[in-house]
């Protein structure tokens, strides 16, 4: 497997990639919070990622999410959200990234009918799949955590969505800490679509994105063992709050490596 660091918020791209490289990671997942207008920003992004890529440093890209929503009840928000995801796919391909992670849509109001989310997401997914296939880059839909308005939290819900648009360039970004919040048993046998990227963080009292060094509920060695059993050998991204320093990034990587060594002894 390839160990990746999620780029910290508020850190310039080159600095964040250098932090991941210096801390011993194989690559980084670049979290985009915005897609600024203008070609200069895109050129600089592509050039920076490719410069690191020439050294064998891997990159994945996480599409903007935040106040975007692919299944918003507001048509304008759906349209803009889809535009930014499609632009992210093109940008990632041009930069030489290995995968793109996308958040599925969510309810705009808790009074909405969930069935409408599937229909709006199917529409968006069709366009995403066509571009992913055209650009020959894999896109992973991420399973979301247990919080208000989220729809696609259980793996069976992602199965149903991806069943509607089968494409070899579509799969799942499996977030173990998110899954822990809805399925403490971490039943991966229910997942019928390929894993194309993985997120790990510690889940403490039902809250994900804690450092892997924290005392939490997520059995990291077991998670890695389950991935091995599925034949997965791809990217594993550390998402943790204290990755903003080299010391924090290294500590998380050390925990991950120890868990991987121990995963061979773990039986599901």
pLDDT digits (tens, 9 = 90+) for 241-250: 777 899 999 9
Whether 266 has a pLDDT exceeding 70, the answer reads: no
For 2-54, write each residue's pLDDT tens digit: 999 999 988 999 999 999 999 999 999 999 998 888 899 999 999 999 999 99
Could you give the CA distance from residue 3 to residue 14 in angstroms, rounded to a whole number? Answer: 18
2-262 domain in CATH 3.10.105.10? no
Q: What is the mean pLDDT of residues 74-103?
A: 98
Q: Give the torsion sign (CA, 140, 146, 151, 153).
A: positive
CB 256 within 8 A of CB 200: yes
- Mean pLDDT over each residue of the chain, to the nearest integer: 95
pLDDT(109) > 60: yes
Residue in 46, 3, 49 with CA at minimum distance from that of residue 23: 3
pTM: 0.96
Burial 4-27 (b: 16+ CB within 10 A, else e): bbbbbeeeebeebbbbbbebebbb
Distance CA 65, CA 32 (A): 8
Q: Which helix (H) or strand (E) segment is 115 a member of?
A: helix 114-135
Task: Using CB atoms within 10 Å of the CB of residue 52, give its burial: 0 to 12 exposed, 13 to 18 middle, 19+ buried.
Answer: buried
Residue in the block written with tokens 């390929």: 194
CB 121 within 8 A of CB 104: yes
């Amino acid at each position: 497997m390839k160990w990746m660091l999620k780029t910290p918020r508020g850190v310039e791209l080159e600095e964040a990639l250098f932090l991941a490289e210096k801390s011993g990671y194989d690559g980084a997942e670049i979290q985009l919070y915005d897609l600024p207008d203008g070609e200069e920003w895109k050129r600089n992004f592509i050039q920076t990622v490719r410069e690191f890529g020439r050294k064998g440093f891997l990159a994945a890209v996480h599409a903007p999410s935040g106040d975007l929503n692919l299944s918003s009840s507001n048509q304008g928000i759906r349209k803009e959200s889809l535009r930014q995801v499609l632009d992210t796919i093109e940008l990632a391909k041009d930069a030489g990234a290995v995968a793109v992670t996308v958040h599925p849509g969510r309810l705009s109001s808790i009074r909405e009918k969930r069935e409408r989310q599937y229909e709006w997401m199917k529409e968006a997914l069709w366009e995403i799949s066509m571009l992913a296939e055209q650009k020959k880059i894999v896109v992973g839909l991420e399973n979301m955590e247990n919080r208000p308005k989220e729809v696609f939290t259980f793996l069976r819900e992602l199965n149903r969505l991806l069943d509607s648009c089968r494409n070899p360039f579509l799969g799942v970004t499996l977030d173990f800490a998110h899954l822990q919040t809805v399925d403490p048993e971490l039943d991966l046998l229910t997942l019928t679509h390929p894993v194309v990227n993985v997120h790990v963080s510690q889940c403490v009292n039902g809250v994900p994105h804690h450092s892997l060094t924290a005392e939490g509920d997520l059995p990291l060695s077991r998670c890695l063992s389950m991935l091995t059993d599925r034949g997965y050998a791809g990217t594993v991204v550390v998402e943790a709050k204290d990755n903003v320093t080299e010391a924090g990034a290294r500590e998380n990587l050390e925990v991950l490596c120890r868990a991987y060594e121990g995963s061979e002894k773990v039986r599901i």
